[in-house]
Amino acid sequence: MHCLPGLVPALSSLLGALALLQLSLYLRVPSRYGKHEERLCRPRGRLPARCAWFVQELPSFLVPALLLALRSPPRLEPLGCRLLCCLFCWHYFYRTFIYPFFTRGRPFPLQLLFFGTLFCIYNGFLQGYYLIYCAEYPNDWCTDIRFTSGLLLFLLGMGINIHSDLLLRQLRKPGEVIYKIPQGGLFTYVSGANYFGEIVEWFGFAIATWSLPAFAFAFFTLCCIGPRAYHHHRYYLKTFTDYPKSRKALIPFVF
């Protein structure tokens, strides 16, 4: 496999277009899984959350890992390239092999699972293909301010995301499916603390890679889970009369 000129900008533009489609579809109405499902747990047409998240997220880990393994001769230099590819795989290792096995979420709709899996194949290919076959970085990229500041943002975002996922999980006892008011960590300031962390993480990755595919993915993430954080916030305000009034939807103190 080689780097085909034009393929990366074309796939990145399509990802940007999908982000806008996502925004137009889900700005007013949230995507129908989790607390925004209209009806509670009809078992048909759904897969247990553990299975669903594992299946859906697996391609985001597997596709770049396969591309890396298939590359001949193996690409080991420069160090910046290796590290950036590892960051992407590291996040999806967590999301595929750790997150699903602890989730206490409701069964996930098969239809969304299908589209989610297609999306993860597409994005895993785009990010992996670019980093493994196309990206060119100078040997001292690891000391570049874009790499170091992006890496810091990525780690900060990932920390917030994992911690917030943990706080959400602890709200339920095993077998429970009810919703409670999230407390602690960044939930003190925003309803979508896990989403805020994920968005910071992917913008950090985009800065560290300084690449079109990564900026397109960060934009997609913003358009996908930004509106969802807003819908979560409205849901909490409607459901809990004692919901903290000073809490914002997504960005602490701002929105």
User: What are the residues binding ligand NDX (CB under 6 A)?
Assistant: 18, 21-22, 25, 31, 34-35, 49, 57, 103-106, 112, 115-116, 119-120, 161, 165, 168, 171-172, 177, 179-180, 182, 194-195, 198, 221, 224-225, 228
Q: 29: Cβ–Cβ under 8 A, 6 or more apart, which residues?
A: none
To ligand NDX, the closest distance from the beta carbon of 161 in angstroms equals 5
Q: How far is the CB of 78 from ligand NDX (least distance, A)?
A: 27
| CA atoms of 179 and 197, how far apart (whole Å) | 21
CB of 165 to ligand NDX, least distance (A): 5
Q: How far is the CB of 150 from ligand NDX (least distance, A)?
A: 16
Taking the least distance from each CB to ligand NDX, the nearer of 31 and 127 is 31
137 vs 228, beta carbon nearer ligand NDX: 228
**What are the distances in angstroms from CA 157 to CA 28, 31, 39, 63?**
26, 23, 33, 23
Are the C-beta atoms of 53 and 101 separated by less than 8 Å? no
User: First CA to last CA across the chain, in angstroms?
Assistant: 45
Closer Cβ to ligand NDX, 142 or 171, answer by number: 171
Q: Compute the distance between CA of residue 78 and CA of residue 1 in angstroms, rounded to an integer.
A: 19
Q: Which is nearer to ligand NDX, 119 or 141 (CB)?
A: 119
> Tokens standing for 168?
């959400």
- Number of residue whose CB is nearest ligand NDX: 105
Contact yes or no for 135/209 (Cβ under 8 A): yes
* Shortest Cβ 83–ligand NDX spacing (Å): 20
Burial grade of 37 (CB within 10 A; 0-12, 13-18, 19 or more): middle
CB 172 → ligand NDX: shortest distance, Å? Answer: 5
Nearer residue to ligand NDX within complex by CB, 137 or 214 = 214
Shorter beta-carbon distance to ligand NDX: residue 101 or 115: 115
Identity of the residue, 37 or 144, whose beta carbon is nearer to ligand NDX in the bound complex: 37
Q: How far is the CB of 149 from ligand NDX (least distance, A)?
A: 20
Tokens 């697996």 appear where? 58
Residues 3-10: contacts with CB under 8 Å, at least 24 apart: 3/129, 3/133, 3/134, 7/129, 8/126, 8/129, 8/130, 8/134, 8/212, 8/213, 9/212
